[in-house]
Amino acid sequence: MAEPGAKPSVLFVCVHNAGRSQMAAAWLAHLAGDRIEVRSAGSAPGDRVNPAAVEVMAEAGIDMSGQTPKILTADAVRESDVCVTMGCGDTCPVFPGKRYLDWELDDPAGQGVEAVRIVRDEIRALVEGLIAEIAPATTA
């Protein structure tokens, strides 16, 4: 994990980096602010972020319209404390000492807004749990 006093970092990975991992990264950045470093990537990135994912995140007050899918690199995994995979199977490189989580979520690709809203809300709940675990809010 992160060095004492250092900011933890999380990498979200799905195949196309167009839906689930983008929504997870957006939720984490929105909910944790600057307490956690956030990355997302895909093993086979799509051409653009899923428009339904952009729409449902906008409904929640989060603008993902400027995001683009990014390729998963070994460096991205190496530089992250926690790697959260979402349906990418064995394509994520594994490094000793890293923490890996696999979130089983429906793929929003080709789904309507109603289905993507459900995935968005499932991701928010998982992200909130992750934040509470790795970077709990400090009370003054």
- In this structure, the strands spanning 99-102 and 37-42 are unpaired
H or E element at residue 41 = strand 37-42
pTM here is: 0.91
pLDDT in tens, 61-112: 999 999 999 999 989 999 999 999 997 666 666 777 889 999 999 999 899 9
**Over residues 117-136, mean pLDDT:** 96
Output the pLDDT for position 97: 80
What's the pLDDT at 96?
78
For residue 81, what pLDDT is reported?
94
Task: Say if CB 6 and CB 34 are below 8 A apart.
Answer: no
Q: Averaged over 7-25, what is the pLDDT?
A: 95
Buried b (16+ CB within 10 A) or exposed e, 56-90: bbeeeebebeebebeebeeebbeebbbbbbbbbee
CA–CA dist 140, 138 (Å, integer) = 6
**Is 9-133 a domain of CATH 3.40.50.2300?**
yes
Catalytic positions: 14, 88, 92
Query: Does the pLDDT at position 5 exceed 60?
Result: yes
Contact predicate 126/12, CB 8 Å: no
pLDDT at 2 over 60: no
Largest CA distance in the chain: 45
Answer whether residue 139 shows pLDDT above 60. Answer: no
Residue 122 pLDDT greater than 90, yes or no: yes
Q: Which amino acid is at 38?
A: V
